[in-house]
Amino acid sequence: MRQEETRSVGKKIIIIGGGPGGYTAAIRAAQMGAETVVFESAGIGGTCLNAGCVPTKALLHTAGCYRRIANNAIPGVNITGAELDWPSVQSNKKEAVDRLAGGVGHLLRHNGVAVRSERAFPLSGNSVRAGNETLAADAVILASGSANAPLSFPGSHFPGVIDSTAALSLEEIPKSIVIVGGGVIGVEFATLFNSFGVKTTILELTSQLLPSMDGEIAESIRSALTSDGVTIHTGARLLCADKAPEGLAASFDKEGKSLTVTAELLLIATGRIPNTAGLGLEDVGVKMTRGAIDTDENFRTNVPGLYAVGDCNGRTMLAHAAMAQGESAVSHIMGAAQSINNKYIPSCIYSCPEIASVGMTEEQVLNSGIEYNVGRFNLNGNGRAVIEGVGGFVKIIADKSLGEVLGVHITGPYATELIAEAALCMCLEGTVEDIANTIHAHPTVGESLREAAMSVFGKPIHSLR
C-alpha cells in the first residue's frame, strides 16, 4: 500500500463472500472511501477462519504440546500420566475461532462496512440479487472461496468417510485413520493425528509426498513422518472402501498390486476446488476454466465491473494470496492500481518440523534451463534449533551469474515465520550476497538463512564446506 494514496469518495462496491479475500477487500475499499457491502451467508472469515487455517493450527498447536509432553521431550522436565482432554481441545479451538471471527466483524463495523448474512448472486458487474432485492454498484467482487474436492469411489457413502471440515470437529479421537491425499492438507492432518497417538496412514497418488514442493524438502518431511510412525504409500490409487471390524477397509492399487489398510476413519484430503457452482455465473457470461473464474492481472473477469479474488479464481489457493488479491482488486477499482507478483507468494505447511517455501523449486529451476547454485545449511549447526531439539535445513537456490535468489525452502522450527525474510528479499530482487551481508541476531534460527546464503559461495561459518 502506498502512503500517497488518496480517498476516492462516491463509489459503491459489493463483495460476495466474507472470507480472507472478501473481508480484506471490504476494509480496503472502506478505507479508500467507498460505500461497501459484504454478503456472507455462512460466517465472516470464510473457510480459512471457520473450518480451515485457524482451527487446524489451533489443534496442531495443542498436538505439538501434547506430543512433547507425552514423549517426555522437554529436557529436564519429567512428566508422567499426561492425558488428552479432547473436549477441552475442541473448546480451545472454538474459542480461538470465535475470538478472531469477532475481531474481523469488529474491524468491518469500525470501517463502516455493511455486512449482510445472506446469499447474493451477481447479475452483472454492476448489480447483484439478494432474495427479491436488486442492488446496484460501481463494481462487484466475487470472493466465494473454495470447497473440498469431492472424491467419488465405491464405499464413499459409508459412515466414517469424512472430509477435512468434519475432521476438525470429531467428537472423539479415533484409534486409527487413513488419509487419502499427501498434499498440504493431508500432511498437516497426519501430523495432527499422529501427535495425538492415532495410528496414521497416508495414501498419495503421485510418486512424491507433497508433490508441489521442492523434492528435497518433500523427502525430508516424508522421512520425519515415517520416523514418527506414520505409514506412507506414494503411487497409491484408492480403489474402494468397505466395512470392516475396525471400521473401514480401504483398498488401493500400488505398482499393480491391490493392497488394503483398515482404520476407524477414512479422511479424504485430496485438495480443494473453486466454489463457483450455484452462483449463476454462466448466466452472466463469466468465463471459467475447470470451474475457476478467469481473471487478468487486476483480477477483472471478462464481464465489465466484475472482479474475482481468492480461491474462486484458482490462481493461488492460499488465504494470504486472497487477501493481497482483494486489496489489489479494490485499488484498481478506485483508480490506484496495486499489482501483485505471484512469483513471491510464500507457502507454509504446519507439519513437524514446519515447512515453508517461496519462489521456484530446484526441479523448476532445472527444467527452466537457468544456471544456478544451491546453498544448504543443516540446522544441526544452529544453536537455537539445537536448543529447541528440532532439526531441519535451509536451502537457497540462486542464479549462477547474478546471485539473484530464485527460491528458498526451509524445514525446521519457525520455518513459517522465517520465510517472510526470503519473500521480502525476492520482492526487492535481492541476491544471496544481500542475505549474507545482513547481520542476523544470535542465537536465532534466522541465522540459518545467512549461513545458507554463505554456503552458496562455499564459505559458511558454522558448517563444513
The mean pLDDT value for 201-205 works out to: 98
Whether residue 266 is found in the same domain as residue 388: no
User: Is 18 contained in some domain?
Assistant: yes
Regarding whether 226 and 169 lie in a shared domain, the answer is: yes
Spatial distance between the Cα atoms of 56 and 187, rounded to a whole number of angstroms: 12
* Residue 187 domain boundaries: 161-270
Q: Please name every residue paired with 347 in a beta bridge, in sequence order, or none if there are none.
A: 357
Listed in sequence order, the residues at least 6 apart from 388 whose beta carbon sits closer than 8 Å to its beta carbon are 413, 445
Supply 228's cell numbers: 514418527
**3 in a domain, yes or no?**
no
For 237-262, what is each residue's pLDDT tens digit? 999 999 999 899 999 999 999 999 99
**Phi-psi sector, 271: left (phi>0), alpha (psi -120 to 50), beta:** left
Same domain, 120 and 56: yes
For residues 335 and 5, give the distance between their C-alpha atoms in angstroms, rounded to a whole number.
10
- How far is residue 132's CA from residue 7's CA, in Å, rounded to a whole number? 33
Question: Do the Cβ atoms of 52 and 24 come closer than 8 Å?
Answer: no
* Element spanning 345, H or E: none
Confidence of residue 3 (pLDDT cuts 50, 70, 90): very low
> Which is it for the CA torsion 169, 174, 180, 185, positive or negative?
positive
Q: Are residues 78 and 217 in the same domain?
A: no
Q: How many domains does the chain have?
A: 3
Rounded Cα–Cα distance for residues 28 and 46 (Å): 17
Domain's final residue, options 270, 298, 329: 270
Measured over the CA atoms of residue 298, residue 301, residue 306 and residue 312, the dihedral's sign is negative
Residue 97 located in a structural domain: yes
- Confidence band of 465 (pLDDT split at 50, 70, 90): confident
Predicted pLDDT at 342: 86
Cα dihedral 350, 353, 356, 357 in deg (nearest 10): -140
> What is the reported pLDDT for 9?
56
Residues 67 and 390 sit within 8 Å (Cβ to Cβ): no
Task: Return the H-helix or E-strand segment holding 250.
Answer: strand 247-254
* Residue 25 and residue 139 in one domain: yes
Judge whether residue 7 has pLDDT over 90.
no
Amino acid identity of residue 445, one-letter, is V
Could you say which of 106, 110, 442, 462 is catalytic? 442
Mean pLDDT of the chain: 95
How much is the pLDDT for 449?
98
Q: How do beta strands 199-204 and 247-254 pair? A: unpaired
**Residues linked to residue 115 through DSSP beta bridges, in sequence order:** 38
What confidence tier does 304 reach under pLDDT thresholds 50, 70, 90? very high
By three-state DSSP, how is residue 410 classified? strand
> For the chain, what's the residue count?
465
Mean pLDDT of 109-119: 97
* One domain for residues 305 and 425: no
pLDDT, residue 4, reads 43
Domain of 381, CATH number, reads: 3.30.390.30
Specify the 3-state DSSP secondary structure of 404: strand
Q: In angstroms, what CA-CA distances link 335 with 6, 23, 307, 326?
A: 10, 20, 14, 14
Pair (16, 140) in one structural domain: yes
Reported as a single tens digit per residue, the pLDDT across 325-337 is 999 999 999 998 7
DSSP 150: P
pLDDT at 211 over 90: yes
CATH classification of the domain holding 218: 3.50.50.60
How would DSSP label each residue in 209-274? SSTTS-HHHHHHHHHHHHHTT-EEEESEEEEEEEEETTEEEEEEEETTEEEEEEESEEEE---EEE
Q: Which residues contact 238 (CB under 8 A, 6 or more apart)?
A: 151, 153, 180, 203, 250, 251, 252
Respond yes or no: is residue 332 known to be catalytic: no
Partners of residue 147 on adjacent β-strands: 273
3-state SS, residue 47: helix
- From 286, 316, 343, the end of a domain falls on 343
* Mutual angle of helices 184-195 and 53-70, in 10-degree steps: 40
Peptide linkage before 353 cis (omega within 30 of 0): yes
Largest CA distance in the chain: 71
155 is a domain residue: no
Among candidate residues 218, 244, 270, the one where a domain is terminated: 270
pLDDT digit string (tens) for 372-407?
A: 999 999 999 999 999 999 999 999 999 999 999 999
In this predicted model, what pLDDT tens digit does every residue of 428-446 receive, in sequence order? 999 999 999 999 999 999 9
- Answer whether residue 2 is part of any domain: no
- Do 266 and 322 have their domain in common? no
- pLDDT one-digit tens code per residue, 47-81: 999 999 999 999 999 999 999 998 888 888 888 88
196 and 137: one domain? no
3-state SS assignment for residue 253: strand
**Set of cell numbers at residue 267:** 479422511
Q: Do 305 and 407 lie in a common domain?
A: no
Residue 464 placed within a domain: no
308 and 339 in one domain? yes
Whether 153 is in a domain gets the answer: no
Whether residue 171 is contained in a domain is answered as yes
Residues 321, 367 within the same domain = no
Residues 149-183: tens digit of each pLDDT: 988 999 999 999 999 999 999 999 999 999 999 99
Closest CA to 192 of 242, 265, 251, 244: 265
Cell numbers standing for residue 33: 472511501
